[in-house]
A and B are shown apart, each in its own frame.
Chain A
Amino acid sequence: MKNMNDIFNPEKEGSKNSPFDVPKGYFETFEDRLEAQITAMEEKPSRSRTIIRILKPVVGLAASFLLIMLLVKYPLNKITPSLTSLDDSSFVEDSDYWKEIILSNSIFIDDRALLQVMNNNETTSPGESDEIIATVSSELNDYEVFAELYN
């Protein structure tokens, strides 16, 4: 087209010719490229669907568990706030108090003293034991027992 007036002049040959071009062989190979793309696109969703199929029960279980936890915990908090507030952190905070109680009720003996007590028990002769039994079995009062022992 050489002149602006040719644009709307149907008498002029080539006035409506498209000025666009395509790469060589574009239309000849179009169907093959399109089919390849459709095949690739149809394969992709099937893979993702497989992953979704595998994950679906796991996700479902996790969601159900979470739901049950929420359904149990919140009503329980509302009904018994004092009980449910006694959580692990309160035990941690009170741990010093419990430690003191345990320590005050325990008798601590060092290893040497413990060994001595055990040895003393072993060195006690059967004769002495019999003597104690005889003394205990005789109906003596405390004063008489004391006198017997020191005489």
Chain B
Amino acid sequence: MIDEKQLIGELKNEATKQTAFRSMVGLYKERLYWHVRKIVLDHEDTDDILQNTFIKVWRNIDSFRAESGLYTWLYRIATNESLTFLNQKKKKTFGGTDEELNDYLVENLQADLYFNGDEVQLKLQEAIARLPEKQRLVFNMRYYDDIKYQDMEKILETSEGALKASYHHAVKKISDFLKNQG
């Protein structure tokens, strides 16, 4: 296993930066991909966001002070990139309304070649897409990725209590949505 401190040291060293960067991408690309994918749902958009995330890391690694773990930092950048992407799309295409954006994301998912879920999973994704931003993030990170609340606290910069409450509300809303859909 690669030592994180050593990896950060190599990333900050011009002589070893490129090799260390490649190792870091190999280590985190899949986890970050799935994290982003669950937020934006579309594969092509996820690919763009993931590349932008790593490009930001490449450019700003010197300013990384290692107060939080590398993994936390990467998750935070990926989350911010994903939310920025959705907000820009909302403003440019849907005049700033959440509902139209959510409808578009779900419709897009139905036509997505890289969505292999059944009808129940599609309904679940629709329910998740209709959640408020924070609840959607917390639900995905907890439900799919099993990320601990302590880690989530650092990534989303929110208290553990607030995160637990967000997850609880998200589960309730999803259950209600699915019941109503029958």
Interface residues of A (CB under 8 A from B): 1-4, 6-8, 16, 18-23, 26-27, 30-31, 33-35, 37-38, 41
Q: Which of B29, B122, B174 contacts A19 (CB 8 A)?
A: B122
Is B154 positioned at the interface, with any CB of A under 8 Å from its CB? no
The answer to whether residues A8 and B175 also contact, given A21-B114, A27-B30 and a CB cut-off of 8 A, is yes
Please count how many residues in chain B sit with their CB below 8 Å of the partner chain's CB atoms. Answer: 35
Known: A16-B143, A18-B144, A20-B34. 5 other contacts (CB 8 A): A8-B175, A19-B124, A19-B125, A33-B51, A38-B58
Is B117 positioned at the interface, with any CB of A under 8 Å from its CB? yes
B117 → A minimal CB distance (Å): 3
Interface residues of B (CB under 8 A from A): 22, 25-26, 29-30, 33-34, 37-38, 41, 43, 47, 50-51, 54-55, 58, 114-118, 120-125, 143-144, 171, 174-175, 178-179
B143-A4 in contact (CB<8A): no
A8-B171 in contact (CB<8A): yes
The answer to whether residues A37 and B22 also contact, given A20-B115, A27-B29 and a CB cut-off of 8 A, is no
The answer to whether residues A19 and B115 also contact, given A27-B30, A33-B51, A38-B58 and a CB cut-off of 8 A, is yes
Question: How far is it, in angstroms, between the C-alpha of A6 and the C-alpha of B25 when the chains are bound?
Answer: 34
Closest residue of chain A to B117 (Cβ to Cβ) is A19
Question: How far is it, in angstroms, between the C-alpha of A38 and the C-alpha of B21 when the chains are bound?
Answer: 12
Chain B residues whose C-beta falls within 8 Å of the C-beta of A20 in the assembled complex? 34, 37-38, 41, 43, 114-117
The answer to whether residues A27 and B51 also contact, given A19-B122, A20-B115, A34-B25 and a CB cut-off of 8 A, is no
A4-B120 in contact (CB<8A): yes
Closest residue of chain A to B47 (Cβ to Cβ) is A26
Chain B residues whose C-beta falls within 8 Å of the C-beta of A7 in the assembled complex? 120, 124, 174, 178
B120-A38 in contact (CB<8A): no
A23-B114 in contact (CB<8A): yes
Q: List 30 A-B contacts (CB under 8 A).
A: A1-B118, A3-B120, A4-B178, A7-B124, A7-B174, A7-B178, A8-B175, A18-B34, A18-B144, A19-B115, A19-B118, A19-B121, A19-B124, A20-B37, A20-B115, A20-B116, A21-B114, A21-B116, A22-B33, A23-B114, A26-B47, A31-B22, A31-B25, A34-B51, A34-B54, A34-B55, A37-B51, A38-B55, A38-B58, A41-B55
B55-A31 in contact (CB<8A): no
Closest residue of chain A to B171 (Cβ to Cβ) is A8
For the complex of A and B, the 4 pairs showing the least CB-CB separation, nearest first, are A19-B117, A19-B121, A21-B114, A1-B120
